[in-house]
């Protein structure tokens, strides 16, 4: 211990009491938004519509929302000019169970269905910039709405599957999501504060990557850090993870586009 420098001592004085707090809070499992772990500067950036770089993606989505598809209709033809006819409470409840598809449908999945079937295409890739823009615009409409995913009934097995994935060890690093995001939320890892890994800020803007990303892309970021092979953004694994992760955040407010690490 003799080698501790002054500044390190200071740092420990700050962080030691915190350690006890974070562990007890993490196990209490109260959902806490990633926002609460940000620096004040980042929080300010998020709530300032003009300073939030994620708003560029939302704005691009708004334009796309009223752009005609191949059949001459646009999203706005059915959902109102500014999406005003969309039910924001329902948006906050995605993923929902689709009786037609017999599986969970994510918000992005629903948007791509409408894109294909209701405005006649062109089809957008699941991970395309266009799909991200539309999703960001639509979820932004539900800003401040409470996340409220129903995982009873037919959704239950998908929720369980997602929960399993969240508790699976990945990659060469061989660590599971919950080990960082449940046990260590609030501690620092490489100068970043670990959050609970909630999805209420997505699609959001990743400060460190300098771009907007959706929940599946954010998961890919963590899998890459774990030196694991990521999945495709429309894979069953990511859909199940999104079911679990959104439901795990039930009660949080939608913050799209959140500013995040």
Partner 1 sequence: MQKTRLFRLPLLFAASLIIPTTYATDASSSGQPYYEWKVENFEIKEPLGGLEGNAVRGKAIAGNQSRGNCLACHLLPIPEEPFFGNLGPPLTGIGSRQSTGMIRLHVVDQSRFNPETVMPGYYRTPAQLNRVAKALKGKTWLNAQEIEDVVAYLTSLK
Residues with a catalytic annotation lie at: 222
Shortest Å, Cβ 63 to partner 1: 31
The answer to the question of residue 102 lying near partner 1 (CB under 8 A) is no
Look at strands 192-193 and 259-260 and give their pairing: unpaired
What DSSP assignment string belongs to 40-83?
HHHHHHHH-TTT-TTHHHHHHHHHHHTS--TTS--HHHHH-TTS
- What does the alpha-carbon distance between residue 126 and residue 22 come to, in Å, rounded to a whole number? 37
Interacting span for partner 1 (CB under 8 A) from 36-44, 87-95, 108-116, 154-162: 36-44
Torsion angle in degrees (nearest 10) through CA of 91, 94, 97, 102: 100
- What does the alpha-carbon distance between residue 173 and residue 169 come to, in Å, rounded to a whole number? 8
| H-run or E-run covering 30 | none
- What does the alpha-carbon distance between residue 241 and residue 259 come to, in Å, rounded to a whole number? 21
Contacts with ligand HEC, residue ranges (CB under 6 A): 34, 65, 73, 75, 77-79, 86-87, 90-91, 110-111, 114-115, 118-119, 134, 138, 166, 170, 175, 177, 179-181, 189, 192, 194-195, 197-199, 201, 218-219, 222-223, 226, 241, 260-261
What character string, x for contact with partner 1 (CB under 8 A) and - otherwise, covers 151-190? -----------------xxxxxxxx---xx--xx-xxxxx
Angle CA 88–89–94, to nearest 5: 95
The answer to the question of residue 236 lying near partner 1 (CB under 8 A) is no
Q: Given candidates 47, 101, 224, 232, which one binds partner 1 under the rule CB under 8 A?
A: 224
Inter-helix orientation angle 156-166/236-248, to 10°: 90
Q: Given candidates 72, 144, 153, 191, which one binds partner 1 under the rule CB under 8 A?
A: 191
The answer to the question of residue 138 lying near partner 1 (CB under 8 A) is no
Measured from the CB atom, the residue of 55 and 226 that comes closer to ligand HEC is: 226
| H-run or E-run covering 154 | none
Measured from the CB atom, the residue of 73 and 211 that comes closer to ligand HEC is: 73
The answer to the question of residue 229 lying near partner 1 (CB under 8 A) is yes
When CB distances are held under 5 to 8 angstroms depending on the partner's kind, the choice from partner 1, ligand HEC, none that residue 162 binds is none
For residue 148, what are its two tokens?
């409220």
- What does the alpha-carbon distance between residue 75 and residue 118 come to, in Å, rounded to a whole number? 8
Shortest Å, Cβ 72 to partner 1: 44
When CB distances are held under 5 to 8 angstroms depending on the partner's kind, the choice from partner 1, ligand HEC, none that residue 10 binds is none
- What does the alpha-carbon distance between residue 127 and residue 143 come to, in Å, rounded to a whole number? 22
The answer to the question of residue 73 lying near partner 1 (CB under 8 A) is no
């Amino acid at each position: 211990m003799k080698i501790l420098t002054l500044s390190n001592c200071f740092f420990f004085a700050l962080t030691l009491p915190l350690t006890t707090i974070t562990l007890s809070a993490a196990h209490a499992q109260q959902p806490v938004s990633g926002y609460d772990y940000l620096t004040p500067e980042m929080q300010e950036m998020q709530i300032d519509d003009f300073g939030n770089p994620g708003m560029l993606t939302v704005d691009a989505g708004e334009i796309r929302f009223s752009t005609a598809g191949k059949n001459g209709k646009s999203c706005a033809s059915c959902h109102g000019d500014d999406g005003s006819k969309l039910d924001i409470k329902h948006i906050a409840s995605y993923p929902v169970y689709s009786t037609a598809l017999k599986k969970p449908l994510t918000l992005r999945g629903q948007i791509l269905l409408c894109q294909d079937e209701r405005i006649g295409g062109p089809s957008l890739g699941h991970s395309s910039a266009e799909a991200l823009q539309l999703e960001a615009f639509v979820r932004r409409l539900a800003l401040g709405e409470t996340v409220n995913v129903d995982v009873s009934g037919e959704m239950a097995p998908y929720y369980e599957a997602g929960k399993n994935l969240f508790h699976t060890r990945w990659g060469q690093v061989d660590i599971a999501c919950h080990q960082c995001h449940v046990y260590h939320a609030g501690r620092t890892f490489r100068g970043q504060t670990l959050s609970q890994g909630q999805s209420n800020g997505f699609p959001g803007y990743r400060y460190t990557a300098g771009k907007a990303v959706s929940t599946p892309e954010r998961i890919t970021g963590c899998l890459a850090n774990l030196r694991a092979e990521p999945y495709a953004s429309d894979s069953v694994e990511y859909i199940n993870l999104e079911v679990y992760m959104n439901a795990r955040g039930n009660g949080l407010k939608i913050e799209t586009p959140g500013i995040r690490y």
